[in-house]
Amino acid sequence: MFPIVSTTLFMPLLGALLVMGFRKAPAKLVHTIGIFTSGFTLIGAIIMWSRGINSTGFAQLEQLEWMPAIGAAYRVGVDGISLPLVLLSALLFFVTFIYSAKVRERPHAYVVLMLLLETAAIGTFTALDAILFYVFFEVSLVSMYFMIADWGHEDRQRAALMFFIYTLLGSLPLLLAILGMYLGSDPHTFDMRVWIENPPLTGTAAMLALIAMLFTFAVKTPVFPFHTWLPAAHVQAPAAGSVILAGVMLKFGTYGLIRFSLQMLPEAFREVGVVVLVFGIISALYGAFAALAQNDLKRLVAYTSVNHMGYIVIGVAIAALAIDPAIRATALDGSVLQMISHGLVTGALFFLVGMLQDRAKTREMDQFGGLLKLTPIFGWSFVLAAFASLGLPGLAHFPAEFQIFLATLQVEPFAIIVILGIVVTAGLYLKAISQIFLGEANTKWQGMPDLTMRELITLTPLLALIIIIGIAPAWVLDVIHKTTLNLHL
Amino acid sequence: MEKDLAFLMPEIAVLLTAVAALIAEMLRKPRIAFAASVAGLLIATGLTIPLLHVDVTVFSGTFRVDILSVWAKLILLPATVLAVLLVRAELGGSAREGTAYVLVLMVTLASLLMAGVGDTMLLILAVLLSGLGSFALVAYPRDDAATEAAMKFFVFASVTGGVMIFGLSYWFGITGSTLLNETTRLGNMPVVASIGLFAVIIGLGYKASLVPFHFWAPDAYEGAPVSIAAYLSVVPKIGAIFALAQVVRDLPSELNWSLVIALLAVLTMTYGYLAALVQNNVVRLLAYSSIAQAGYFLLGIVAIGASALAFQSIVVFAAAYAAMNLGAFALVMQNGRTLDAFTGKGRSHPVTSVAMVIFLLSLAGIPPLAGFVGKFLLFGASIDAGFTWLAIIAILNSVLSLAVYLRIIVAMYKKADTTETAETITIPLLSSLVWFIAAAFTLGIGLAAQLILKAFF
């Protein structure tokens, strides 16, 4: 069997080495290499998708000895939770490369870092060895730091530093937890499959490990009150960086929440499930209300991320609390699908904000007006993405959030107050749309060009998938459901 | 006796190399001294390979040829080769160039003796030999700063050395033997034995620059040539750490030595990074950083006897530390000693800057670099030995360390204030070779850690 997972995983790294080899190559060639490499990676991810998954455990396993003396090995594979995320990452990186083909400031370094980031992202989702997971998890951090620090906006150095220190501080407790699980397993191993099969820790040790992990993933997701790095990083990051940060990297947090906290420490998670649930609720509501108060469009989108990621946390907490496996599966289906939807919708929104900023050099919403008439394609694209973001039925977020709320009602009915968040997001997006796109056209923006061909190519796959998943989510949900139904927690 | 000598082939090779280099220097042929040093060290490394799975003591137990001392040779001998290349790059052509090689070789020999020490008398001898060579190396430039640094170093070493000899006499008094493996009997008189323990910690703590015996280190590194600072921060320090491991492995637990070492680790890591945080001179910054790194080594020492990971973690981290620290110092040699010298280098010198980022991130323990693998094993060892709180403090210090190393990285990728005049780019061949090899190891040790780990099973 051809090792398609490893090929997909290391394809971007190969491309990065290629770019490093051609240090004198013109910017155009460098970007072409980037686009082609990520295109091949996307094809690899599609082949992985076509090969499918098993109903229990992991599929498409590939292993290699690494440090057998301490039970660490190179192990990769996918299940219904990670496979959709791999596909999402590959797609987002591919369109990001198309969008960034205009970058002329140190294009070599830019493409190398982005490709490195792609390997780190796919590696995080496919790793089945805890050390390997941690390695990819941290490599992504370094690449993103340079991404923000080198190609960001005015105050980028500070934001990049804050991002780096915050998330590194956040990820170190995970290291402790991993060490604890390793020492608790018998025989000692870093094999995540073994940890999921036989949770190595119990009692107080399990609770301590869980608290450490929850801290890590709460920073990464981010969950209120650990979210403060997020708006700063997003505002300063270049548009492509924001897309990857929100679309792919935030998912590390929620993916880890399911893979590590829920699957490896189910007993402990059940005990603190309500606490996690409350954090999720606060996060979702806080994100919505904070977004409402923004005038900067990018900050607004950043805060809605906090809101949407909050729903995922709620879904996972409900899955931990649920006793009926069917309800648990519903909650997890919703959570995983929400990750995909959020990647597509927020990715599209950050691209659109970037396109607006490229044209107008400002993101203050009150500076605009009547853009729908001047730039109709841009305007309608934004309206579509914004409606998806507020959870309109028929668009990508609806089937995901619906399942989360359905499971919530059955397990912890009080938590349904979070539905208020949807009302608030609806309000804030309508306000944004009316300020930017409706009303009197501001003469200042007369002659603003509509979307270029490259921008259209960037957006089309995302917008199309938003509609497809909204109307017919079954092709993704079936894959997710196959795994979530058979989790023995 | 002949059989014992066969086990000492690498040490003998280093000694003969030193003699050869000395003769070459007396004939005023520094080039030959340099070539002989490199060749001799490589031969000594080769001679170590057959000893890989040996575990014996020689000369009636005074010297141990075991996993620690063999790996000390495999790490320190190549590290000395790199240091010799740096010395050549920096001091080549100066008046007494050859003496530097001789002294470096003698200090390396002393460090190897420390790493395999099995007897208190040998320990004292090795510490003194290493000290004498080091003072002369620091004073090499003969200017005010170097002389003052060497003087401070000398006074500090004399006092701590004296204390160590005094304290060890208590152990001799109790056990009636100078052999370290007799120290298992110290449990009968824990109070008196503790005096000896403190003395050893002071003596080796100064050598390994553990807080609070570290005061000499930043001044000595700053006063000395950069290549010498690089050497002193790696070879004698690792030797002293290994010596400490050899001393404590036989100590009875009644002495509570692991708790004492754990407290020293906390003090060393925390103080080292806090002090590094306010330095503007990169050599001083790296000096304090290497003090803090010594604290991480102690996490492995604490676990000796309680965790199977202890020795492996120390060895893996030693290999990682040697590679990344030498690499960082090599780049300081190329770029300059102040933080300002690094400003804007990210754009003007992209390749060396990437290498520097690799070294600094590895020092901070970011995966998948060598420093991460080493620290990861150290954390594991100390948790396994029941010192979870120590691992947590170490992890918190890793965050602090990031702030330290990021100061250099941020400066490198900042826009330079002045528009740089087109300077003629000359690539210093020797020091570039050093950082290149060091970078290869820093990147590769993570993948190759198995080679080291396998030797333990």
Interchain CB distance below 8 Å, A67 and B309:
no
The percentage of residues in chain A with a pLDDT greater than 70, rounded to a whole number, is: 100
> Which helix (H) or strand (E) is B20 found in, with range?
helix B9-26
Whether chain A has a CB inside 8 Å of the CB on B159: the answer is no
pLDDT band at B225 (very low <50, low <70, confident <90, very high): very high
Q: Domain containing B92: what range? A: 1-253
Determine the distance in angstroms separating the CA of A381 from the nearest CA of chain B, rounded to an integer.
Answer: 37
Q: Are strands A72-78 and B63-65 parallel, antiparallel or unpaired?
A: unpaired
Angle at A124 between CA A123 and CA A127, to 5 degrees: 70
- Which amino acid is located at A196 in the chain? I
Indicate which of B450, B454, B457 best probes the interface with A, i.e. most A CBs within 10 Å of its own CB: B450
Residues in contact with B83: Cβ distance below 8 Å, sequence separation at least 6, in sequence order = B104, B227, B230, B231, B234, B235, B326
pLDDT band at B303 (very low <50, low <70, confident <90, very high): very high
Q: What angle in degrees, to the nearest 10, is found between the helix axes of A420-437 and A266-292?
A: 30
pLDDT band at B1 (very low <50, low <70, confident <90, very high): low
Angle at A401 between CA A396 and CA A402, to 5 degrees: 105
**Which residue shows structure tokens 């120590």?**
B390
Same domain, B222 and B350: no
> Of A439 and B302, which is predicted with more confidence?
B302
The reported pLDDT for the residue numbered A82 is: 92
Q: Are A357 and A448 in contact (CB under 8 A)?
A: no
The answer on pLDDT for A146 being more than 80 is: yes
Same domain, B249 and B268: no
Once rounded to an integer, what is the mean pLDDT over residues A273-289? Answer: 93
Interchain CB distance below 8 Å, A138 and B367:
yes
HEC sequence for chain A? CCCHHHHHHHHHHHHHHHHHHCCCCCHHHHHHHHHHHHHHHHHHHHHHHHHCCCCCCCEEEEEEEEEHHHCEEEEEEECCCHHHHHHHHHHHHHHHHHHHHHCCCCHHHHHHHHHHHHHHHHHHHHECEHHHHHHHHHHHHHHHHHHHHHHCCCCHHHHHHHHHHHHHHHHHHHHHHHHHHHHHCCCCCCEHHHHHHCCCCCHHHHHHHHHHHHHHHHHHCCCCCCCCHHHHHHHHCCHHHHHHHHHHHHHHHHHHHHHHHHHHCHHHHHHHHHHHHHHHHHHHHHHHHHHHCCCEHHHHHHHHHHHHHHHHHHHHHHHHHCCCHHHHHHHHHHHHHHHHHHHHHHHHHHHHHHHHHHHHCCCEHHHCCCHHHHCHHHHHHHHHHHHHHCCCCCCCHHHHHHHHHHHHHHHCHHHHHHHHHHHHHHHHHHHHHHHHHCCCCCHHHCCCCCCCHHHHHHHHHHHHHHHHHHHCCHHHHHHHHHHHCCCCC
Residues of B in contact with A182 (CB under 8 A): 380
Average pLDDT, chain A: 88
Same domain, B324 and B391: yes
Whether chain B has a CB inside 8 Å of the CB on A17: the answer is no
Retrieve residue B289's tokens. 């950083």
Total domain count, chain B? 2
Same domain, B430 and B310: yes
Indicate which of A23, A70, A136, A140 best probes the interface with B, i.e. most B CBs within 10 Å of its own CB: A70
Residues 243-302 of A with CB under 8 A from B: none
3-class SS of residue B60: coil
| Exposed / middle / buried, residue B420 (Cβ in 10 Å: 0-12, 13-18, 19+) | exposed
Residues 433-452 of B with CB under 8 A from A: 446-447, 449-450
Interchain CB distance below 8 Å, B413 and A150:
yes
The answer on pLDDT for B453 being more than 80 is: no
Determine the distance in angstroms separating the CA of A183 from the nearest CA of chain B, rounded to an integer.
Answer: 7
Interchain CB distance below 8 Å, B395 and A66:
no
Interchain CB distance below 8 Å, B413 and A135:
no
The answer on pLDDT for B287 being more than 70 is: yes
Retrieve residue A91's tokens. 């797609």
Determine the distance in angstroms separating the CA of B391 from the nearest CA of chain A, rounded to an integer.
Answer: 8
pLDDT band at B185 (very low <50, low <70, confident <90, very high): confident
Whether chain A has a CB inside 8 Å of the CB on B311: the answer is no
Q: Between A70, A150, A179, which is nearest B379 by CB?
A: A179
Interchain CB distance below 8 Å, A179 and B376:
yes
Chain A CA closest to residue B404: A165
Interchain CB distance below 8 Å, A67 and B413:
no
3-class SS of residue B309: coil
Q: Where are the domains of chain A?
A: 275-489
Question: Omega into A461 within 30° of 0, i.e. cis?
Answer: no
Whether chain B has a CB inside 8 Å of the CB on A110: the answer is no
Chain A CA closest to residue B453: A69
Task: Give the tens place of pLDDT for each residue, A170-191.
Answer: 888 898 899 888 888 888 888 8
Once rounded to an integer, what is the mean pLDDT over residues B16-39? Answer: 93
Same domain, B323 and B284: yes
Retrieve residue B201's tokens. 């910690």
* CA pseudo-torsion sign B54, B58, B61, B63: negative
pLDDT band at A108 (very low <50, low <70, confident <90, very high): confident
Same domain, B240 and B281: no
Determine the distance in angstroms separating the CA of B300 from the nearest CA of chain A, rounded to an integer.
Answer: 15
Same domain, B82 and B136: yes
The answer on pLDDT for A315 being more than 60 is: yes
The answer on pLDDT for B456 being more than 80 is: no
Task: Give the tens place of pLDDT for each residue, B245-264.
Answer: 999 998 888 888 899 999 99
The reported pLDDT for the residue numbered B451 is: 67
The reported pLDDT for the residue numbered B454 is: 66
Residue contacts between A and B (CB atoms, under 8 Å): 75
Same domain, B168 and B272: no
Chain A CA closest to residue B350: A109
Whether chain A has a CB inside 8 Å of the CB on B31: the answer is no
Same domain, B86 and B222: yes
Q: Are B279 and B273 in contact (CB under 8 A)?
A: no
Indicate which of A20, A24, A67 best probes the interface with B, i.e. most B CBs within 10 Å of its own CB: A67
Taken as a whole, chain B contains a residue count of: 457
The reported pLDDT for the residue numbered A47 is: 92
The domain boundary, picked from B206, B228, B253, lies at: B253
Residues of A in contact with B377 (CB under 8 A): 70
Whether chain A has a CB inside 8 Å of the CB on B372: the answer is yes
Quote the pTM value.
Answer: 0.83
Whether chain A has a CB inside 8 Å of the CB on B395: the answer is yes
Same domain, B204 and B242: yes
Chain B CA closest to residue A67: B450
Name the residue among B399, B360, B406 with its Cα closest to residue A176: B399
The domain boundary, picked from B220, B253, B286, lies at: B253
Report residue B53: phi and psi, to 5°: -105, 25
Once rounded to an integer, what is the mean pLDDT over residues B380-400? Answer: 87
The reported pLDDT for the residue numbered B137 is: 93
Interchain CB distance below 8 Å, B413 and A149:
yes
Q: Between B384, B396, B403, which is nearest A183 by CB?
A: B384
**Which residue shows structure tokens 């939807």?**
A341
Same domain, B131 and B110: yes
The reported pLDDT for the residue numbered B422 is: 47
Residues in contact with B144: Cβ distance below 8 Å, sequence separation at least 6, in sequence order = none
Least confident among A1-15, A64-78, A118-132, A419-433: A64-78
Determine the distance in angstroms separating the CA of A433 from the nearest CA of chain B, rounded to an integer.
Answer: 38
Could you report the predicted ipTM of this complex, rounded to two decimals? 0.72
Chain A CA closest to residue B370: A135
pLDDT band at B457 (very low <50, low <70, confident <90, very high): very low
Task: Give the tens place of pLDDT for each residue, B192-214.
Answer: 888 888 999 999 999 999 988 98
Task: Give the tens place of pLDDT for each residue, A344-383.
Answer: 999 999 999 999 888 888 888 888 888 888 888 888 999 9
> Which helix (H) or strand (E) is B199 found in, with range?
helix B190-207
Indicate which of B307, B359, B362, B366 best probes the interface with A, i.e. most A CBs within 10 Å of its own CB: B366
Same domain, B52 and B108: yes
Residues of B in contact with A134 (CB under 8 A): 367
The reported pLDDT for the residue numbered B122 is: 93
The reported pLDDT for the residue numbered B184 is: 84
Whether chain A has a CB inside 8 Å of the CB on B319: the answer is no
Whether chain A has a CB inside 8 Å of the CB on B361: the answer is yes
